[in-house]
Structure 1
Amino acid sequence: MSKISDANYETIRAFRNKAQESLKQFKVLEEAAQSFTDLIYQEFEESIALVRVYVTFPFGKLPSSNQTRITNLATAKQILPILNEKSTILSLLGTHGEKAAWNNRHNSQGHIGIPLVSADFIDSIPMVSRLLKEMGVPLEWVTSQNTGMEAKNTLNIASVFYVPDASTALDQRGRKIIPAQDFVKASGIKTVFGSGGTYLMSNSFATIIVFCRESLTKEQASQFLSLASLFTFATARLVLNGKIFVGN
Structure 2
Amino acid sequence: MTAISQLGPAEALSLERRLQRAIHRAPSLEAAAQEYARTVYMALSDSLVLLRVFAIVPWRELPAEDREFVRALSEAADMGAAISPDTPVLSLLGTMGTEPEWCERRRSVGHLGIPLISSEFVAGIPMISRLLKQIGVALDWIDRSDVAIVGKTFGIQSGVFYVADAATAVDSRGRKIIAAQPFVARHGVRTVFGVGGGYVGTPVYTTIIGFCRDAISPAQTEGFRGHIARFKAETEGLVKGGRIFSA
Task: Provide TM-score, normalisation by structure 1.
Answer: 0.95
Residues 89 and 149 (structure 1), Cα distance of their counterparts in 2 relative to 1, 3 Å cut: closer
In structure 2, the partner of 1:98 is 98
CA offsets per residue over residues 92-124 of structure 1, 9 Å max, x none?
Answer: 000000011100101122210010110000100
Q: Distance in 2 between matches of 1:150 and 1:200?
A: 10
2:153 alignment counterpart: 154
- The aligned residue for residue 51 of structure 2 is 51
Contact 1:55 1:93 in 2 (8 A): yes
Q: 2-side partners of 1:149 and 1:217: how far apart?
A: 33
Confirm or deny that 1:208 pairs with 2:208. Answer: yes
**Inter-CA distance 42–180: structure 2 relative to 1 (3 Å threshold):** same
Q: Once the 2 structures are TM-superposed, how far is the Cα of residue 149 of structure 1 from its aligned partner?
A: 7.0
The AA in structure 2 aligned to 1:128 is I
Letter in 2 for 1:193: F
Query: How does 1:1-248 map onto structure 2 within 5 Å?
Result: 1-144=1-144, 147=145, 151=149, 154-155=153-154, 156-247=156-247
Percent identity between matched residues is 38
Kept after mapping to 1: 8 A contact 2:163/2:192: yes
Question: Cα distance 1:43–1:149, how it changes in 2: closer, same or farther (>3 A)?
Answer: closer
* CA 26–117 in structure 1, closer or farther in 2 if over 3 Å, else same: same
How far does residue 186 in structure 1 lie from its aligned partner after superposition?
0.5
TM-score (norm. length: structure 2): 0.95
Report the secondary structure of 2:225's partner residue: coil
Residues 52-111 of structure 1 deviation map (CA, whole Å, 9 limit, x = unaligned): 000111001111110011111001111112111100000000000001110010112221
Displaced runs of 4 or more, over 6 A = none
Is the Cα–Cα contact under 8 Å of residues 194 and 225 in structure 1 kept in the other structure? no
Instruction: Quote the RMSD (CA, aligned, Å).
Output: 1.5
Where in structure 1 are there 5+ consecutive unaligned residues? none
The letter of the residue matching 1:119 is S
Distance 1:241 1:181, change over 3 A: same
Unpaired runs of at least 5, structure 2: none
1:192, 1:212 within 8 Å by CA — same for their partners in 2? yes
Secondary structure in structure 2 of the residue aligned to 1:172: coil
For 1:224, the aligned partner's letter is: F
